[in-house]
Amino acid sequence: MEKSQKEKSQKELKELPGISVYKNRFLYALFPCGLFCFIYLFFGPLSLIHTNSSVLKITIFSATPYYLLAFAAGTLLSSALLAILRGSLFCGAATMVLWLSLGSYIQRNMLNPDFGLLIGTAIPWEEYTGRTLLNLAFWGALLLLLFLLKNALKAKWEKVLRIVSVIVVLMQTTALVTFYFASDGTEDEVDYALSTDGVALVSENENIIVFILDATSNNALNKTLAVYPDALSLLNDFTYYNNCAPTFYGTYPEMISIFTGNGSYDTNASYLDFERVSWSSSPAAEFYALLKSRAYVTSFYTDPRVLSQTLSNIEGKIDNTTAPEAFLGIQPLKMYEKLGVLTCYEYFPLGLKASFYKSTGEFDDLIANSDGSTIWSLDGEALSSKLFETGLSASESNQMKVYHFEGAHSPYILSDTGLPSEDSTSLEEQVMGCFVIIGEYISQLKEIGAYDSSTIIITADHGDYTYNGSHDSNSAILFVKLRNETHEELQVSEAPVTHLELLPTIAADAGLDGDYDFGAVLADFSEGEPRERILHKWENTLGGPNQYDAFYVFRYSSHIRELNDLTEPDEILPLYDCFY
User: Within 10 A of 62 (CB to CB), how many other CB atoms are there?
Assistant: 14
Q: What's the predicted TM-score (pTM) here?
A: 0.74
* Residue 359, phi then psi, degrees to nearest 5: -80, 145
Q: CA–CA separation, 1 vs 17, rounded Å?
A: 26
What pLDDT score does 149 carry?
92
pLDDT at 423: 82
Rounded Cα distance, 215 and 250, in Å? 8
Q: List C-alpha distances in Å: 579 to 54, 276, 497.
A: 12, 14, 26
**Angle at 232 (CA atoms; ends 229, 234), nearest 5 degrees:** 130
Residue (of 246, 299, 260, 199) closest to 477 by Cα position: 246
Contact 476, 249 (CB under 8 A): no
Which residues partner with 394 through β-bridges? 202
Position 325 scores a pLDDT of 46
Indicate the length of the chain as a whole number: 580
The predicted pLDDT at position 380 comes to 82
Residue 202's pLDDT is 97
Q: For residue 118, what pLDDT is reported?
A: 62
Alpha carbon 479 to chain centroid, angstroms: 26
- Where does 125-199 show beta strands of DSSP type E? 193-194
pLDDT of residue 22: 86
Per-residue tens of pLDDT for the chain, all 580 residues = 455 555 554 444 344 456 788 888 899 999 999 999 999 999 999 888 887 766 666 778 878 888 899 999 999 999 999 999 988 899 999 999 999 999 999 999 899 887 766 655 667 778 888 899 999 999 999 999 999 999 998 888 889 999 999 999 999 999 888 888 776 544 445 678 788 889 999 999 999 999 999 999 999 999 999 999 999 999 999 999 999 999 998 899 999 999 999 999 999 999 999 999 999 999 999 999 999 999 999 999 998 889 998 889 999 999 998 765 444 455 566 777 888 888 999 999 998 988 887 776 666 656 554 445 556 677 788 899 899 999 999 999 999 999 999 899 888 889 999 988 878 899 999 999 999 999 999 999 999 999 999 999 999 999 886 544 445 578 899 999 999 999 999 999 999 999 999 999 999 999 887 778 899 999 999 998 889 999 998 888 776 555 788 999 999 898 888 877 677 889 999 998 887 6
pLDDT at 181: 78
d(CA 79, CA 408): 47
CA distance 501 to 503: 6
